[in-house]
Structure 1
Amino acid sequence: MYLCYVDESGDGQTVDPSTPEAPPVMAIGGIIVDESRLRALTWDFIDFKKQFRPTLRRTAKLSEVIRTEIKGSDIRAHLRKGNRNQVRMAHGLVDKLLTLLERHDCRVLAKICVKEDGVTNAEEAMYGASVASLCATFENYLAGRADRGVVVLDSRTKSKNVDNVHCVTTRKFRAGGDLLPHVAESPVFGHSDSHIGLQIADLLMSAILFPAACATYADDLTWNTHCHPAYAAIRDRHCPRVGKLQHRYRTPTGKWAGGVVVSDRRRGRSASALFPAVVPAAVIPGQQGSAASALLKP
């Protein structure tokens, strides 16, 4: 069995100079990990936290170590206004996080929505469509391995949780047949302070893909808090490794799908701007992507 942990960074606020703190992108995604590797990944991540939070080395309770999170927003703050050592630490943390994902053969998937300036966004629709897209990618990954899996989303509010998975539930249990036969259940919800997988997904999204996307697709918004020139270093230094961790596949029509997908409403740029030199890491025969590709349609 495989587990897919998903978190988000950014929201649906309107991008406008009057609200410089509004994120120019909304990034939703995470990691796929084999259940047999989860225990080792968890303990490696606990050691990772102790390395970057030395006070945790003196903590007697494992539960306290697990509850203590390293937030991507703190890493971004170090990049924006930290001293030389803090900037070095931020890049070192990202580097070691990617090493963990590589060591445990994890795969990355994400949907990044680049918002159009001055336009009101339907955040719940963006989130729900992104979750459906991620489930389609996960389905293709599972089909290629003849295995099953479960999606774990970072819990928001009850009303948001329910609304954001209905589109997946109806496509899975529709009368016309299951479009996600290898996904064992509709996405379930967890809390990041109790799920290591969600903490890893948070760092991937908020410390790597969110700032890299801001630097790539909204670099001209110099008035925006999230469009800092220091974020370009995250893209240039670390995104090539992220690109190699993607699960991508060709649909029956020959179109590439999966991995990190970008919907750029500002300038129509694709995800290749994040990974200019990366070759797709996985190619799955088209017939295995047929059910998943149906979910990718509007």
Structure 2
Amino acid sequence: MHLCYIDEAGNGQTLDPVRPDAPPVLVVGGVTVPRSQVKDLTWDFLAVKKHYRPQLCKAEQLSEVTQHEIKGSDVRKNLRTGNHQWRGAAMKLLASVLDILERHDARVLARVWVKEERLAFDESGVYPASVGSLTETFQAQPAHEHSHGMMVLDSRTKVKNAPNVHCVTTRKYRTGGDGLRGVIESPVFGHSDTHTLLQLADLVVSSLLFPIACHTYMSDVTWNVHCDDAYRPLREQFGARLKKLQFRYQDVERKWRGGIVVSDRRTRQSSSLMFGPGKPTALPLIPEQPGPVGDSAPLQP
């Protein structure tokens, strides 16, 4: 069995010069991990938090370490406006995050939506569509191993939560058969201060995928605070590792699906640019496989 933890970075705010802090992209994504690795990955992530928040080493209760979050938005701020020491600590933290994901056979999946200036962005439609797409990708992973999976989404509000899973529920229980048999139930919701691996998903989505997308697809939007050249090292140092961490699969028509998928509404550029400049490299065909069934302190160096 696999577990999948999903978070988001960005929102539906219109990209406009009068709102220089409006997110230029919306990223919905996260990480998957085999059930056998969940506990070890969790303990390794708690160790990472203690290393970069040394005050947590003095915590008397495990709950104190669990509830303390290193938010991706704070990591981005350290990269943009921090001194050399803070920026170095932020980069080392992200390297540590990728280390533990690689060590525990975790995978990354995401939908990235690039906005167009001054055009309304329908978050209420894009977010559920992203969840549906990520569910398809995720269910293909355990299906390849004749297993099943469960998804945990970061909880927002009931009004926002409910529509995001209806598309999954209806596909699982509609007349004519379950179109998502790889997942055992519709996605459930959790709070990041009680689900440690949701915090890990936040760091991947908010401090890696979001800033990389902003710099890659929106670097010419100089009036927006998120389109900062300080994010350039993220793609240069971590792009190749993120590419290898993707879960991708071939559908019944042998087309590649899944991974980190970018919908660039602005310049129609390729998703492969998330991992480095240049043209995408064609993936080799693989033997036939079953497709899918159906106020923070700065970081310490």
Provide TM-score, normalisation by structure 1.
Answer: 0.94
SS of the residue 1:289 aligns to: coil
Instruction: Tell me the residue number matched to 1:78.
Output: 78
Amino acid at match of 1:218: M
Tell me if the contact between 2:249 and 2:291 (Cα under 8 Å) persists in the aligned partners.
no
For residues 4-47 of structure 1, the C-alpha deviation after alignment (integer angstroms, 9 at most, x for no partner) is 00000001111010111110100010011111111111111111
Q: Does 1:68 align with 2:71?
A: no
Give the structure 1 partner of residue 180 of structure 2: 180
2:301 paired with 1:289 = no
- Please give the alpha-carbon distance, in whole angstroms, between the structure 2 residues aligned to 1:215 and 1:279: 24
Q: CA deviation at 1:255?
A: 2.3
**Cα offset, 1:233, TM superposition:** 1.0
The one-letter amino acid paired with 1:216 is T
| Partner SS state of residue 172, structure 1 | helix
Change in 2 beyond 3 A, CA 1:243/1:280? farther
- Which blocks of at least 5 consecutive residues in structure 2 are unaligned? 295-301
The alignment partner of 1:169 has SS state of helix
Deviation at 1:254, TM superposition (A): 3.1
Number of the residue aligned with 1:87: 87
User: Is 2:144–2:289's contact at 8 Å kept on the other side of the alignment?
Assistant: no
Contact kept, 8 Å, 1:246 with 1:281, in 2: the verdict is no
Could you say what secondary structure the match of 1:98 adopts? helix
State the match for 1:13 in structure 2: 13
What is aligned with 1:168?
168
In 2 relative to 1, CA 282–242 (structure 1 residues): closer, same or farther, beyond 3 Å? farther
The answer as to whether partners of 1:247 and 1:282 remain within 8 angstroms in 2 is no
Match of 2:26 in 1: 26
Report how far residue 168 of structure 1 moved.
0.7
Tell me the residue number matched to 2:299: none
Structure 2 distance, partners of 1:108, 1:164, is 20
Corresponding residue for residue 230 of structure 1: 230
Q: Partner amino acid for 1:227?
A: C
One-letter amino acid matched to 1:139: Q
Residues 11/143 of structure 1: CA separation in 2 closer, same or farther (3 Å cut): same
Does the 8 Å CA contact 2:143/2:293 hold for their aligned counterparts? Answer: no
- Where 2:268 maps in the other structure, the secondary structure is coil
Pairs aligned (count): 291
- Percentage of identical aligned residues: 51
Q: Deviations over 1:95-142 (max 9, x none)?
A: 000000000010110000011111111101100000000000011111
Amino acid at match of 1:237: Q
Distance 1:274 1:221, change over 3 A: same
Match of 1:261 in 2: 261
- Counterpart-to-counterpart distance in 1, 2:195 and 2:76: 22
- Asked whether the equivalents of residues 244 and 280 of structure 1 are also in contact (C-alpha less than 8 Å), the reply is no
Deviation at 1:278, TM superposition (A): 7.2
